[in-house]
C-alpha cells in the first residue's frame, strides 16, 4: 500500500502520484487475480462519490466503500492503492460531469464564457459540497481536469491577454465562486449542527445590535437600511458582474495599447 494523506483525508496529490496518473489516464495494469465480477474502477469511483455526496468525506473510507460494494477491502486495493489516490479519481470524475460541450460550441463572447464558467462551477460545488473540503494545491491532472481547462481557455480566447493572465482569470473566477460556496455550505452546516436557522440566529442578536447602534459608536452601521444584510440580495450575480466589469476594462486597455 502507498502513503496515505493526512488524518482527515482531504489532500489530493498526497498519495502515489504515478499510480494516480496511471489510473486517471487508463495506462495502469488491471487486477489479474480473481477480481469480483462486476467490480470496475468506474463503479468504485462512482460509489465513492455517492457516499461523499450523501454523508461527506469523513464517512468515506476504504472499509466503508468495500461494504457499499459488497466486496472485501483487500479487493479494493487491487484497483486503488488507497484513499489519497481515490480522491484524485473522484475529483476528476466530478470535474468531468459538466463537460458535455465540444470546443466548437464554446461561447465566442468571453463575457458569456466567464459567466458560464462561474455558474457551472457553482453548480458542481452545490452538487458535491465535499469538494470544498479538499486541498487541491497539488492535484493530479486527469483527462477531465485538462478538458475543463481547454474549454475555459477556448472561451477566453478573445480577451487578448497573456497566457499567465488567462490562467489568472480562471483562478480569480473560481476563487470567487469557491468563497461564496464555502460561506453557503458553512451556513447550512451550522444550521444542521445547531438546529437553529440563519434567520433565528441573527434574530437572537437583534437586541444587542439595536443597543449598539443607539450608542453612537457605529454611525456608518446605524445608517444602513434594514435590508442591507437581507438574504434576498444576489451577491453571486453582483460580484460576478463586477469581476466581468474589471476584466472588461483590462481588455479595452490592452486593445488600445
The CATH number of the domain where 182 resides is what? 1.10.357.10
Residue 114 in any domain: the answer is: yes
Helix axes 143-155, 163-194, angle to 10 degrees: 120
Residue 6 in any domain: the answer is: no
Looking at the fold, whether 149 and 88 belong to one and the same domain comes out as no
**Which domain covers residue 89, as residue numbers?**
17-96
Looking at the fold, whether 91 and 163 belong to one and the same domain comes out as no
Taking residues 56-64, what's their average pLDDT? Answer: 95
Task: Report pLDDT digits (tens) over 201-230.
Answer: 989 999 999 999 999 999 999 999 988 887
Domain termination residue (choose one: 96, 116, 137): 96
Domain termination residue (choose one: 80, 96, 112): 96
CB 251 within 8 A of CB 161: yes
The model's pTM: 0.87
> What's the number of domains the chain is made of?
2
pLDDT of 138 reads: 86
Looking at the fold, whether 91 and 109 belong to one and the same domain comes out as no
Q: How confident is the model at residue 27 (pLDDT cuts 50, 70, 90)?
A: confident
The Cα diameter of the chain in Å comes to 76
Task: Give dist(CA 92, CA 246) in Å, integer.
Answer: 31
Nearest to 118 by CA among 2, 241, 220: 241
CB 49 within 8 A of CB 128: yes
CATH number of domain containing 53: 1.10.10.60
State the sign of the Cα–Cα–Cα–Cα dihedral 223, 225, 229, 235.
negative
pLDDT of 31 reads: 59
Task: Give dist(CA 144, CA 160) in Å, integer.
Answer: 26
Taking residues 141-160, what's their average pLDDT? Answer: 93
Domain termination residue (choose one: 56, 79, 96): 96
Q: How confident is the model at residue 142 (pLDDT cuts 50, 70, 90)?
A: very high
Taking residues 74-78, what's their average pLDDT? Answer: 93
Taking residues 233-238, what's their average pLDDT? Answer: 95
- Grid coordinates standing for 122? 457553482
Looking at the fold, whether 118 and 49 belong to one and the same domain comes out as no
Looking at the fold, whether 144 and 71 belong to one and the same domain comes out as no
Q: How confident is the model at residue 28 (pLDDT cuts 50, 70, 90)?
A: low
pLDDT of 10 reads: 64
Nearest to 10 by CA among 86, 74, 65: 86
pLDDT of 68 reads: 97
Task: Give dist(CA 240, CA 248) in Å, integer.
Answer: 12
- Grid coordinates standing for 27? 495506462
Amino acid at each position: 500500500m502507498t502513503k496515505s494523506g493526512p488524518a482527515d483525508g482531504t489532500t489530493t496529490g498526497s498519495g502515489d502520484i504515478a499510480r494516480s496518473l496511471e489510473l486517471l489516464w487508463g495506462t495502469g495494469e488491471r487486477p489479474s487475480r480473481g477480481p469480483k465480477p462486476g467490480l470496475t474502477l468506474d463503479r468504485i469511483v462512482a460509489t465513492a462519490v455517492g457516499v461523499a455526496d450523501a454523508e461527506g468525506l469523513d464517512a468515506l473510507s476504504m472499509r466503508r466503500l468495500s461494504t457499499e460494494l459488497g466486496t472485501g477491502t483487500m479487493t479494493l486495493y487491487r484497483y486503488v492503492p488507497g484513499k489519497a489516490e481515490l480522491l484524485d479519481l473522484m475529483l476528476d470524475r466530478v470535474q468531468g460531469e459538466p463537460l458535455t460541450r465540444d470546443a466548437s460550441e464554446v461561447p465566442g463572447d468571453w463575457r458569456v464564457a466567464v459567466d458560464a464558467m462561474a455558474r457551472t462551477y457553482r453548480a458542481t460545488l452545490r452538487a458535491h459540497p465535499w469538494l470544498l473540503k479538499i486541498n487541491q494545491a497539488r492535484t493530479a491532472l486527469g483527462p477531465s481536469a485538462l478538458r475543463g481547462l481547454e474549454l475555459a481557455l477556448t472561451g477566453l480566447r478573445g480577451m487578448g491577454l497573456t497566457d499567465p493572465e488567462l490562467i489568472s482569470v480562471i483562478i480569480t473566477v473560481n476563487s470567487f465562486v469557491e468563497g461564496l460556496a464555502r460561506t453557503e455550505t458553512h451556513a447550512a452546516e451550522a444550521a444542521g449542527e445547531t438546529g437553529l436557522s440563519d434567520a433565528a440566529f441573527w434574530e437572537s442578536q437583534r437586541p444587542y445590535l439595536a443597543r449598539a447602534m443607539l450608542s453612537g459608536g457605529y454611525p456608518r452601521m446605524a445608517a444602513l437600511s434594514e435590508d442591507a444584510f437581507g438574504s434576498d440580495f444576489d451577491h453571486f450575480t453582483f460580484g460576478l458582474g463586477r469581476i466581468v466589469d474589471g476584466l472588461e476594462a483590462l481588455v479595452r486597455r490592452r486593445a488600445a495599447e
